[in-house]
C-alpha cells in the first residue's frame, strides 16, 4: 500500500467507525492495538488515537509511548487519546461533574486552524466521556469549545498534534467528516487514491506474484465474501484456482443448483459436492445448538479435505476472511464471554498443511461489495443477505431431519421471494424462517389440525452486532402467512419475531 493512516485502538466501541470514515475518504488505514503498535514506516502518514472505556486516572490506564510518532507525523487523539496526551504533558484531567453523553454544540471554533477549517460555530458534536480536560499544558491551544466543555479540541503549538474531546466518526457529529477530512487530507496530506479499482489492480498483481504457478483450493459458500475472494484469485491465476461448493443439505431451496450455475457463468472452476447424506447422518439425534454447529463444522472439514486431496499438488487455501474478523480488538475489560461459537473464522485446521491466502482481509463488508461491483460480479450475489455457515441447521430448533429441512425450505422460499417481489429484500439486512419444535391446533376446512409453527424473522442492521426487527407492512406479512399456511404441508401457524438484538440474537440457536 502506498500510504496509510494508523489507528491505535484503546478499546473504544467507535474505533472501527473511525477506520470506516477514513476509508470513505479513499484513504487506506489500519487498526492496531495500543499495546502492540507498529514501528513508524514511510507509508504511515498520520496517527489517530482512539477513545477508550478507561479513565486516564485509573491505575492501569492504557498507555503508549508517543515519541515514536509525535513530531514525525501528524497525530490526533480522540476523546481518551486527547485526554491521555494532555495528562502526560502536565495538564489536568478530572472526572466530569456530570457524565457528558450525547449531543452538544460548539460555541467557539478557531476556524483559522487547519483541523477546524469549515467547521461552523454551533456545529453539533457527539460527546461520550466521563473525564474532562480541566487544564491544558502551557504549549497547548484550545481550538474549539462547547458551553460545558472548554477543551473540546486543542492543538499543540508548533507541531501537528491535536486532540478532540468529541467523536467526529459518529454521524451525530454533523460535521465530523469534515474534521476527519481536514486531518487526513489537509494535515496528513493523503492523496485519496485508495479506490476499489486500485485495490483490484494492486491485489491481482500481488496475488500473481505470491501464487505464481501454485494451485489454490477455496470453499465457496454462495455468499459475498467467498465469491469476491474467488473472483480476485481467479483473475490472478485462472484455472489454478479450484473452488469447492458443498451441499450440506441445509441450504435454501434450489440454492445449490442456482449458485453453482452462477459461478459457472462467472468462469470459475467449481466443483459441486453433494454431501447431504453425510451431514444428515452426523446430525441424527443432535438437539443442542452447539453440538449441531460442531457436527456441521466437522463434516464440512472432512468433505472439504477429501475433495482438496483429489487436487494434485495444491499448495494454498483461499479464504474470504474480511477485516472485522482479523482486527485484533483490544480487550480492555477482559475477554468477552463466548455467546455462540459461530463465525467460522480461522476456518480449516492445520492438518491440511496449506498456506493461507486471504485477499479481502483488509476490507470491511461494504468495501467487499464495492470491489465485487468493480469485478462485475452479479448483483444477485453481491446483494445477498448474510446466511450462516450451518444454514437451516440452526433454524430448525431441536433435531434435524431431511423432512424438516424440506418444510423449512418451502417456507423460507415463500418468505424470501415475497420480500423480493414486494421490493423489500434490499431494505432488510437479513431474513429467514425458523421451524419451531412445537405443534399447535388449527382448523382447515372442517378439520382440526395439529401441526407445526414457523417464525419469520427480518432484521435491519449494519454489521449484525446489533439489530432491530423490521417494521414490515402488515398486509405483506398477512399475504406471506396465508401463502405459507395454504401451500406448505405440515405448517398451520406463522408468527413474526419482534425481538431486537440485544437482548435476542438474530438466529434462534
Ligand atoms: P446472531 O445470531 O449471533 O447472528 O445474532 C449474527 C450474525 O451471524 C450469523 N451467524 C452465524 N454465521 N456460523 C456463521 O457463519 C454460525 O454458526 C452463525 N450463527 C449466527 C447470523 O446469521 C447473523 O448474520
Query: Ligand 1: which of 222, 225, 252, 388 to mutate, judged by most atoms within 8 Å of the beta carbon?
Result: 388
Domain residue spans of the chain:
4-187, 196-382, 401-496
Same fold, 4-187 and 196-382: yes
Ligand 1 centre to CA of 390 (Å) is 9
Among 395, 497, 506, name the best residue to mutate to test ligand 1's pocket (greatest count of ligand atoms within 8 A of Cβ). 506
Q: Supply the residue whose CA is at minimum distance from atom 16 of ligand 1.
A: 342
What SS3 state is found at 435?
A: strand
Residue 401 CA to ligand 1 centre (angstroms): 21
pTM for this entry? 0.85
Handedness of CA 370, 373, 377, 383 (dihedral sign): positive
Give me the active site residues, please: 79, 167, 169
Q: Could you give the count of Cα atoms lying within 13 Å of 471 in the half-sphere of its Cβ?
A: 0
State how far the Cα of 341 lies from the Cα of 46, in Å rounded to an integer: 37
Instruction: For cell 429441512, name the residue.
Output: 405
Tell me the pLDDT tens digit for each residue of 299-342: 999 999 999 999 999 999 999 999 888 775 555 544 334 444 44
Neighbours of 352 (CB within 10 A): 17
**Least confident piece of the model among 21-25, 363-367, 461-465, 492-496:** 461-465
Per cent of the chain over pLDDT 70 is: 94
The predicted structure's pLDDT at residue 13 = 85
Give the Cα separation of 428 and 471 in Å (integer).
Answer: 10
pLDDT over threshold 70, residue 398: yes
Report the separation in Å between the CA atom of 322 and the middle of ligand 1, taken as the mean of its atom positions. Answer: 15
Contact 98, 130 (CB under 8 A): no
Q: How far apart are CA 447 and CA 475, in angstroms?
A: 27
pLDDT of residue 339: 46
Least confident among 115-119, 195-199, 340-344: 340-344
Residues with CB under 6 A from ligand 1: 293, 340, 342-344, 386, 388-390, 394, 430, 464, 501, 505-507
Q: Which atom of ligand 1 is nearest to the CA of 501?
A: 5
Q: Which three cell numbers stand for residue 3?
A: 500510504
Instruction: Report the nearest atom of ligand 1 relative to the CA of 386.
Output: 24
pLDDT tens track for 272-282: 999 999 999 99
Mean pLDDT of 415-444: 97
122-150 pLDDT, tens digit each = 999 999 888 999 999 999 999 999 998 99
The pairing of beta strand 124-135 with beta strand 270-274: unpaired
Beta strands in 423-485, from DSSP E residues, in sequence order: 430-444, 447-461, 467-469
Domain at 196-382: CATH architecture: 3-Layer(aba) Sandwich (3.40)
CATH 3.40.190.10 fits 4-187, yes or no: no
Q: Which CATH number, 3.30.300.10, 3.30.200.20, 3.90.700.10, 1.10.3720.10, labels domain 401-496?
A: 3.30.300.10
Amino acid at each position: 500500500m502506498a500510504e496509510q493512516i494508523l489507528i491505535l485502538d484503546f478499546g473504544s466501541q467507535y474505533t472501527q467507525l473511525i477506520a470506516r470514515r477514513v476509508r470513505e475518504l479513499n484513504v487506506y488505514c489500519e487498526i492496531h492495538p495500543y499495546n502492540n503498535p507498529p514501528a513508524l514506516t514511510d507509508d504511515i502518514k498520520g496517527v489517530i488515537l482512539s477513545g477508550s472505556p478507561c479513565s486516564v486516572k485509573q491505575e492501569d490506564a492504557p498507555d503508549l509511548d508517543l515519541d515514536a510518532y509525535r513530531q514525525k507525523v501528524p497525530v490526533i487523539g480522540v476523546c481518551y487519546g486527547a485526554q491521555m496526551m494532555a495528562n502526560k504533558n502536565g495538564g489536568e484531567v478530572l472526572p466530569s461533574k456530570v457524565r457528558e453523553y450525547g449531543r452538544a454544540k460548539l460555541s467557539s471554533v478557531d476556524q483559522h486552524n487547519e483541523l477546524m477549517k469549515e467547521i461552523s460555530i454551533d456545529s453539533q458534536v457527539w460527546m461520550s466521556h466521563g473525564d474532562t480536560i480541566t487544564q491544558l499544558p502551557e504549549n497547548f491551544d484550545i481550538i474549539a469549545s462547547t458551553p460545558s466543555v472548554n477543551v473540546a479540541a486543542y492543538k499543540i503549538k508548533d507541531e501537528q498534534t491535536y486532540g478532540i474531546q468529541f467523536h467526529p466518526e459518529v454521524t451525530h457529529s454533523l460535521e465530523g467528516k469534515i474534521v476527519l477530512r481536514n486531518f487526513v487530507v489537509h494535515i496528513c496530506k493523503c492523496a485519496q487514491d485508495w479506490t476499489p479499482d486500485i485495490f483490484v489492480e494492486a491485489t491481482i498483481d500481488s496475488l500473481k506474484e505470491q501464487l505464481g504457478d501454485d494451485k489454490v483450493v477455496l470453499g465457496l459458500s454462495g455468499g459475498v465474501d467467498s465469491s469476491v475472494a474467488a473472483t480476485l484469485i481467479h483473475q490472478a491465476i485462472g484455472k489454478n484456482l479450484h473452488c469447492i461448493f458443498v451441499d450440506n443439505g441445509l441450504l435454501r431451496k434450489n440454492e445449490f443448483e442456482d449458485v453453482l450455475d452462477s459461478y459457472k457463468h462467472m468462469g470459475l472452476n467449481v466443483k459441486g459436492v453433494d454431501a447431504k447424506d453425510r451431514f444428515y447422518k452426523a446430525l441424527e439425534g443432535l438437539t443442542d445448538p452447539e453440538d449441531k454447529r460442531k457436527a456441521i463444522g466437522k463434516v464440512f472439514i472432512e468433505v472439504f479435505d477429501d475433495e482438496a486431496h483429489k487436487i494434485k499438488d495444491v499448495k494454498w487455501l483461499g479464504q474470504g476472511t474480511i477485516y472485522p474478523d482479523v482486527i485484533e480488538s483490544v480487550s480492555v475489560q477482559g475477554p468477552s464471554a463466548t455467546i455462540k461459537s459461530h463465525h467460522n473464522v480461522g476456518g480449516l485446521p492445520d492438518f491440511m498443511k496449506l498456506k493461507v491466502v486471504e485477499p479481502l482481509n483488509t476490507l470491511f463488508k461494504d468495501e467487499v461489495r464495492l470491489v465485487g461491483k468493480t469485478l462485475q460480479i452479479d448483483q444477485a450475489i453481491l446483494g445477498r443477505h448474510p446466511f450462516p455457515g450451518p444454514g437451516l441447521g440452526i433454524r430448525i430448533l431441536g433435531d434435524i431431519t431431511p423432512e424438516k429441512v424440506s418444510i423449512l425450505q418451502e417456507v423460507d422460499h415463500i418468505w424470501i421471494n415475497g420480500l423480493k417481489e414486494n421490493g423489500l429484500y434490499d431494505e432488510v439486512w437479513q431474513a429467514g424462517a425458523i421451524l419451531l419444535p412445537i405443534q399447535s391446533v388449527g382448523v382447515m376446512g372442517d378439520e382440526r389440525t395439529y401441526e407445526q409453527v414457523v417464525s419469520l424473522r427480518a432484521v435491519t442492521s449494519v454489521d449484525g452486532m446489533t439489530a432491530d426487527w423490521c417494521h414490515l407492512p402488515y398486509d405483506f406479512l398477512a399475504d406471506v402467512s396465508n401463502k405459507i399456511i395454504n401451500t406448505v404441508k405440515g405448517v398451520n401457524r406463522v408468527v413474526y419475531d419482534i425481538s431486537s438484538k440485544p437482548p435476542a440474537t438474530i438466529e434462534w440457536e
